[in-house]
């Protein structure tokens, strides 16, 4: 990635952008969508935010603790989710790829399931996410050579779970 493409961003956002783009490429997600989710979530490494339902949102991508049991079978802990660096963005990209692949509804509903499957909460999140993703698409288009690349379902790799801590 060309470092000059990030010059117009505050230093604290540069890691979010680099990690989001890298994770989006790894999990074959549109980068503007992962950037929009990262911006919307707006977390920081080490951050734990208590939700009204008793769960917590953890780290830069505000990964909900409800999903930690699923990650534990891969050896991934809350500390990994809360850590600085790009790994939490990779975990979020993996989770988004699961929502896109396995959930029902249109693309934006499936992506907004990252936040909530409850229709009302999903709709509010989805609406804001679509605006943010459009802005990020424009930002990316102005700074990077982009192309549309279609893949047939047979070409999409089979999910093997998130990259484990030992693979970092």
pLDDT at 153 over 50: no
Cα separation values, 91 from 23, 75, 135, 142, Å? 8, 12, 23, 27
Q: Can you tell me which residue has the tokens 């890298």?
A: 22
Distance CA 145, CA 140 (A): 8
User: Domain 9-143 is of which CATH architecture?
Assistant: Orthogonal Bundle (1.10)
Q: For all residues of the chain together, what is the average pLDDT?
A: 88
Q: Does the pTM exceed 0.95?
A: no
Distance CA 108, CA 93 (A): 15
Helix (H) or strand (E) holding 138: helix 119-143
Mean pLDDT of 96-111: 97
């Amino acid at each position: 990635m060309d470092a000059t493409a990030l010059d117009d961003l505050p230093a604290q956002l540069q890691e979010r952008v680099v990690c989001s783009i890298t994770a989006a490429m790894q999990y074959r997600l549109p980068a503007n969508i992962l950037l929009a989710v990262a911006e919307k979530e707006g977390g920081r490494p080490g951050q734990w935010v208590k939700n009204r339902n008793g769960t917590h949102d953890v780290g830069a991508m505000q990964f909900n603790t409800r999903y930690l049991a699923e990650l534990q079978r891969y050896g991934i802990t809350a500390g990994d989710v809360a850590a600085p660096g790009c790994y939490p963005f990779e975990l979020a990209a993996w989770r988004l790829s699961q929502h896109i692949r396995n959930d029902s509804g249109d693309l934006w509903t499936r992506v907004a399931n990252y936040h909530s499957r409850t229709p009302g909460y999903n709709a509010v999140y989805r609406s804001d996410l679509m605006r943010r993703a459009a802005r990020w698409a424009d930002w990316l288009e102005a700074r990077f050579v982009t192309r549309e690349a279609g893949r047939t379902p047979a070409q999409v790799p089979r999910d093997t779970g998130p990259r484990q801590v030992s693979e970092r």
